[in-house]
Amino acid sequence: MTFLMRILAIESSCDETAMAVVLKQDGNFIVEKNLLATQIEMHKLYGGVVPEIAAREHVTAIFPMLLALNIDHEGNGIDAIAVTYGPGLVPALRIGVELAKTLAWVWQKPLVAVNHLEGHIYSVWSIEKSQISNPTFPALCLLVSGGHTELILMKDHGQYEMIGRTRDDAAGEAFDKVAQLLGLEYPGGPSIAKVAEGGNPNAIIFPRPMHDSGDFDFSFSGLKTAVRVYRDQHPECSVEDIAASFQQAVVDSLVDKTFAAVSQFHPRSVILSGGVSANQSLRSTLRDKLVDRFPDIAFHAPDLSLTGDNAVMIAIAGAQHVLKKDFVDPLTLEADPNLKLAKN
Ligand code: KG4
Ligand code: ZN
């Protein structure tokens, strides 16, 4: 007999309002609806995300988006609701959480609460016709986004151990801040990656902070300062070379620590995810080095349409919670801006 479960997922943790309807059919996920309203144009004016503006924009976008899903007044066809409840910006998170609670209560549907980072990890699970196989455990996850840079050992579904993290800026934040000081548009990741295509990644040897720290932690704020100092001292240097050399330093730092963790923990798969996983240099360096040094370890990165924030990944992660009957009470669920994936 075929197992069918249809999940409505809602995501509003930062500057994207997203909703998806995803059907789990046995082991496969079919994306029936995938809606996204980005606020990037709004936040560009300020060079970063302004929480109160984000919340206001979510309020404007979320109801028309719900209507566009064409679900009837009783939620027929929906088996469960999944919502991101942290980490993120609390005024933004609340918009999605309150809608999910209301729908779950009115429709009398089970509600599951999803950690945004867990969502990013599940963005690599196979959807629709993709023939790729799902990660096997233990999986080592390099999660790189605007707010997080973490190495997580995932021993099974829902079992996470944090083995390394950034001590200051996240990798995406470093891209955003360096882009701003180079006069490039927000978000900085795509801007830097584009400009870097015309530059020499070995033109300037920027520091690889924490390289010899002996643990799996990262640091990017010193690198950002090094770029600023270099730019002030060498105004003649091309933005292309600075962008390419900065990107190379970030990629080297991320890849080196990931390989140190691979050597220590011997995972069966490596998962790269989060907004920065859209970076082609990071993707290809990690993939090529893994194939070269550890051909038995499978490499997984999300489809480019799922690297940034979206609700499909929240639905896929939510499905695991539904299977475990890990439901939450719609009357008491609260957004948690500092939600952790692992206790340590
Ligand atoms: O996961 P995400 O969409 O939002 C958060 O949860 O933070 O990640 C956004 C981050 C931004 O800092 C953005 O600059 C970065 O991902 N990013 C990239 C690229 N595309 C987006 N960083 C490097 N290269 C890219 N191609
Ligand atoms: Zn994210």
Convert the pLDDT of each residue in 177-229 to its tens digit. 999 999 999 899 999 999 999 999 999 999 998 888 999 999 999 999 999 99
Convert the pLDDT of each residue in 98-142 to its tens digit. 999 999 999 999 999 999 999 999 999 978 766 668 999 999 999
Convert the pLDDT of each residue in 256-315 to its tens digit. 999 999 999 999 999 999 999 999 999 999 999 999 999 999 999 999 999 999 999 999
Categorize the per-residue pLDDT at 155 as very low, low, confident or very high, splitting at 50, 70 and 90. Answer: very high
Q: Is 318 in the pocket of ligand 1 (CB under 6 A)?
A: no
What is the Cβ-side half-sphere exposure of residue 60, based on CA atoms within 13 angstroms?
11
CA angle 249, 253, 257 (to 5 degrees): 165
Mutation pick for ligand 1 pocket among 84, 169, 175 (CB with most ligand atoms within 8 Å): 175
129 residue type, one letter: K
CB atoms closer than 10 angstroms to residue 338: 8
Distance 147 CA to ligand 1 centre (A): 9
CB atoms closer than 10 angstroms to residue 106: 12
| pLDDT score for 344 | 64
- Find the ligand nearest to 220 CA: 1
Q: Is 276 in the pocket of ligand 1 (CB under 6 A)?
A: yes
Residue 29 CA to residue 265 CA, distance in Å, equals 30
| pLDDT score for 28 | 87
Phi, psi of 86 (to 5 degrees): 155, 170
- Give the DSSP per-residue string, 256-294: HHHHHHHHHH--SEEEEESGGGG-HHHHHHHHHHHHHH-
Residue 43, pLDDT above cutoff 90: no
Pairing of strands 16-25, 28-38: antiparallel
| pLDDT score for 133 | 84
Report the Cα 145 to chain-centroid distance in Å.
5
Rg of the chain (C-alpha set): 20
Enter the pTM of the model.
0.96
